[in-house]
């Protein structure tokens, strides 16, 4: 990476002007990557790199799911053509909260940046967001807030306790280098004369986050803009449109115009996609097609199924609106804990109703009608068998047995055979974890759980005969035959990697965290990784940027490359190696060479 500059108006000290760009200058290109693929919380990231070198700016929306303008504005920016600099766009930072149209599911993701939490899926998302911020020279957060901010009390809707129609900063001047107030005021001077009506113009909102007596400080010190400012010393701000302004189209267009002005202030040059004729009011009108057991979801229709057989859900790729990529969700019987479009597991329980949403918009329901299955006579005395989806594959685990798993695997307990009689729903309790915050009822059936020992209460983690931690899964259905099985959790280890390089070379390297190896300069492809689990449970970073298996990176003559491998479902690190060109052999160890 090469040093780059933000406009001098943002900064005071010339020393601060030397910051790192995301990528070195190459022809204009756009790349996307989905972190946490196959989980309930996929995170799509777009990296748009201009032909001309410049700063890297990150824009994010959707961290709180009831703020629609933010993720639509960011989604539009992800289609931009960047001419100068690099733009990192995270349109939907918190898909579960967007699908439910709530501010938070377990915890408020925008309050998880004051320390490295490790309790919920939101904390895994925060780890990736921190990674992206570390590659950025400035940050813009897109929000919706209540009412209309005013530094003085005007009325109940316009006062210092409201947030809408404001540009929020954490300090007027930060550490004598970042003149945030002046920067924002200079943009508002250009922006506001074109905002109609005038009562909707944006105001500068300085929360004075670091001041001991700030009424906003205790909460804002946990926020992402504060983290960006404090930890990375980069300009950070939030653009808040008002939830009390009804026309969504107006809000998105004005937030977009403000975001582009700030991007230009930071040194980004871009062209937006054509927006003539686009109505943001109807962004969810044409969602992707969803099929259940091969039958297309049509609101008000009936889906045919066979009792005791799985319901299989498919999202048809390439379907839906070509401009608005509304995120689909499908929930069973009003249970919002499992989005069936984001799991490889299938439900066996007799679902009565399926509800479809697109970016939280409720689009309708279908009824499910069952054909009776052939009964299995004489099975009442059998040992209970749990039907468990393990990394998308169905396994049958008899009561008393142990299922072998690896840290970072995923598990969904779909049912027990023989089933409880009289139509009773099975109660499955995965001991030591609360899968529904605020609803600790002991019901964990049909819930996609990431098997990370750090997420379980220590007193429930037992030690198995092999010395590995294990958890217990119990059937607690009233009146049903008791049953339980164990899940043994082995640590995930990467044994080696395969790199295919120039001139047909292949390098089989033992993966030794902290070590290094030397390779011939040129283009190398990350082809495979060997571990005690499936390769799709791993994610690789090259110099801090995601690299999918099968993709390539360049090892130059004058610099080394950092290759890091992490767990895909938790983004917890498994190790990092240094790859150096042969000409730099003195800078690397000979491990693996």
Tell me which residue has tokens 């390779």: 519
Task: Tell me the angle at which helices 224-232 and 121-134 cross, rounded to the nearest 10 degrees.
Answer: 40
Mean pLDDT of 93-104: 98
What's the token pair of residue 67?
A: 């703020």
pLDDT tens across 437-488, in order? 766 678 899 999 999 999 999 999 999 999 999 999 999 999 899 999 999 9
What's the token pair of residue 533?
A: 């689990």
Euclidean distance between CA atoms 395 and 5, whole angstroms: 55
SS3 531: strand
Q: How far is CA 109 from the centre of its chain?
A: 11
Nearest CA among 295, 221, 223, 273 for reference residue 75: 273
pLDDT tens across 334-374, in order? 889 899 999 988 887 779 999 999 999 999 999 999 998 65
Nearest CA among 54, 104, 53, 95 for reference residue 74: 95
SS3 481: coil
Nearest CA among 510, 480, 488, 484 for reference residue 497: 510
Euclidean distance between CA atoms 576 and 555, whole angstroms: 16
What is the model's pLDDT at position 374? 59
Within 13 Å, how many C-alpha atoms sit on residue 447's CB side? Answer: 21
Distance (Å) of CA 173 to CA 151, 169, 176, 203, 219 = 18, 10, 6, 17, 20
The residue ranking higher by pLDDT, 529 or 439, is 529
Residue 449 phi, psi (nearest 5) = -115, 130
Mean pLDDT of 571-581: 97
Within 13 Å, how many C-alpha atoms sit on residue 247's CB side? Answer: 9
Tallying the residues shown for the chain, one arrives at 593
User: In which region does residue 400 sit, left (phi positive, over 0), alpha (psi from -120 to 50) or beta (all else)?
Assistant: left
DSSP character for 177? T
What's the token pair of residue 549?
A: 């298996």
Looking at every residue in the chain, the average pLDDT score rounds to 91
Mean pLDDT of 564-582: 97
Mean pLDDT of 398-422: 91
What is the model's pLDDT at position 402? 98
Within 13 Å, how many C-alpha atoms sit on residue 18's CB side? Answer: 2
pLDDT at 315 over 90: yes
Please report which confidence band the pLDDT of residue 421 belongs to, taking 50, 70 and 90 as the band edges: low
Rounded to two decimals, the pTM is: 0.91
Burial 45-59 (b: 16+ CB within 10 A, else e): bbbbbbeebbbbbbb
pLDDT tens across 189-241, in order? 999 999 999 999 999 999 999 999 999 999 999 999 999 999 999 999 999 99
26: number of Cβ within 10 Å: 11
Euclidean distance between CA atoms 299 and 282, whole angstroms: 18
Tell me which residue has tokens 């400012």: 229
Tell me which residue has tokens 């007193």: 459
Strands (E), 207-281: 236-242, 269-271
Euclidean distance between CA atoms 260 and 244, whole angstroms: 23
pLDDT tens across 245-260, in order? 999 999 999 999 999 9
DSSP character for 162? -
DSSP character for 29? E
Distance (Å) of CA 159 to CA 70, 101, 165, 214, 254 = 22, 26, 12, 16, 21
> Counting Cβ atoms within 10 Å, is residue 400 exposed (0-12), middle (13-18) or buried (19+)?
exposed
What is the model's pLDDT at position 325? 86
pLDDT at 589 over 60: no
Least confident of 406-410, 487-491, 588-592: 588-592
What's the token pair of residue 585?
A: 């052999």
Q: How far is CA 468 from the centre of its chain?
A: 30
Mean pLDDT of 375-403: 84
Mention every residue, 6+ apart, whose C-beta is less than 8 A from residue 201: 165, 188, 192, 195
What is the model's pLDDT at position 28? 56
What is the model's pLDDT at position 258? 99
Euclidean distance between CA atoms 351 and 308, whole angstroms: 11
Q: How far is CA 134 from the centre of its chain?
A: 16
- 477, 478, 484, 488: CA torsion to nearest 10: 50
What is the model's pLDDT at position 576? 98
Mean pLDDT of 156-160: 97
Nearest CA among 59, 86, 81 for reference residue 72: 59
Q: Do residues 354 and 292 lie in contact, with contact meaning Cβ atoms separated by under 8 Å?
A: yes
Q: Do residues 399 and 383 lie in contact, with contact meaning Cβ atoms separated by under 8 Å?
A: yes
DSSP character for 10? G
Mean pLDDT of 286-312: 93
Task: Tell me the angle at which helices 248-266 and 180-191 cross, rounded to the nearest 10 degrees.
Answer: 130
Please report which confidence band the pLDDT of residue 319 belongs to, taking 50, 70 and 90 as the band edges: confident
Q: Tell me which long-range contacts 30-34 makes (C-beta under 8 A, separation of at least 24).
A: 30/82, 32/78, 33/546, 33/548
pLDDT tens across 105-126, in order? 999 999 999 999 999 999 999 9
pLDDT at 4 over 70: no
Euclidean distance between CA atoms 313 and 339, whole angstroms: 10
Strands (E), 91-145: 138-145
What is the model's pLDDT at position 583? 66
pLDDT at 26 over 50: no
pLDDT at 378 over 50: no
Q: Do residues 579 and 560 lie in contact, with contact meaning Cβ atoms separated by under 8 Å?
A: yes
């Amino acid at each position: 990476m090469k040093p780059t500059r933000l406009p001098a108006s943002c900064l005071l000290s010339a020393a601060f002007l030397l910051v790192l760009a995301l990528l070195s200058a190459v022809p204009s290109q756009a790349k996307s990557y989905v972190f946490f693929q196959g989980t309930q919380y996929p995170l799509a990231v777009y990296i748009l790199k201009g032909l001309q070198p410049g700063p890297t700016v990150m824009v994010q929306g959707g961290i709180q799911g009831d703020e629609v303008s933010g993720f639509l504005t960011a989604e539009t920016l992800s289609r931009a053509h960047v001419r100068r600099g690099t733009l990192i766009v995270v349109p939907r930072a918190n898909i579960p909260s967007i699908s439910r149209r709530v501010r938070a599911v377990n915890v408020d993701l925008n309050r998880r940046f004051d320390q490295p939490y490790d309790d919920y899926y939101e904390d895994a998302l925060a780890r990736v967001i921190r990674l992206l911020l570390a590659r950025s020279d400035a940050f813009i957060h897109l929000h919706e807030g209540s009412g209309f901010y005013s530094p003085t009390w005007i009325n109940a809707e316009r006062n210092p306790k409201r947030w809408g129609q404001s540009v929020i900063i954490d300090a007027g001047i930060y550490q004598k280098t970042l003149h945030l107030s002046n920067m924002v005021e200079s943009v508002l001077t250009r922006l506001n004369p074109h905002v109609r009506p005038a009562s909707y113009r944006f105001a500068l909102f300085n929360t004075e986050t670091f001041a001991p007596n700030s009424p906003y400080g205790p909460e804002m010190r946990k926020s992402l803009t504060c983290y960006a400012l404090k930890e990375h010393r980069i300009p950070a701000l939030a653009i808040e449109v008002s939830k009390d302004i009804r026309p969504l189209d107006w809000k998105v267009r004005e937030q977009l115009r403000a975001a582009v002005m700030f991007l230009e202030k930071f040194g980004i040059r871009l062209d937006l996609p054509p927006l003539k004729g686009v109505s943001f009011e109807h962004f969810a009108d044409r969602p992707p097609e969803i099929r259940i057991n091969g039958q297309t979801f049509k609101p008000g229709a009936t889906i045919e199924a066979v009792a005791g057989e799985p319901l299989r859900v498919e999202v048809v790729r390439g379907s839906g609106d070509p401009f608005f990529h509304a995120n689909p969700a499908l929930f069973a019987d009003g249970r919002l804990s499992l989005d069936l479009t984001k799991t490889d597991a299938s439900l066996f329980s007799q679902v009565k109703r399926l509800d479809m949403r697109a970016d939280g918009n409720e689009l309708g329901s279908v009824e499910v009608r069952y054909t009776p299955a052939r009964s299995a006579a004489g099975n009442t005395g059998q040992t209970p068998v749990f039907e468990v989806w393990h990394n998308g594959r169905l396994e049958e685990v008899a009561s008393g047995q142990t299922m072998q798993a690896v840290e970072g695997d995923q598990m969904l307990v779909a049912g027990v055979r023989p089933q409880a009689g009289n139509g009773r729903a099975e109660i499955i309790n995965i001991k030591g974890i609360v899968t529904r915050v605020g609803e600790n009822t002991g019901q964990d059936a049909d819930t996609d759980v990431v098997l990370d020992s750090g997420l379980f209460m220590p007193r429930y983690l037992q030690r198995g005969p092999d010395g590995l931690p294990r958890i217990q899964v119990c059937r607690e259905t009233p009146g049903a035959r008791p049953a339980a099985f164990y899940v043994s959790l082995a640590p995930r280890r990467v044994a080696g990697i395969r790199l295919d390089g120039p001139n047909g070379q292949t390098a089989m390297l033992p993966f030794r965290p902290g070590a290094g190896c030397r390779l011939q300069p040129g283009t190398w492809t990350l082809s495979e990784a060997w571990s005690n689990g499936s390769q799709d449970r791993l994610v690789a970073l090259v110099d801090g940027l995601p690299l999918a298996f099968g993709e390539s990176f360049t090892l130059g003559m004058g610099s080394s490359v950092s290759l890091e491998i992490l767990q895909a479902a938790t983004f917890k690190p498994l190790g990092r190696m240094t790859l150096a060109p042969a000409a730099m052999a003195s800078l690397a160890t000979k491990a693996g060479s």
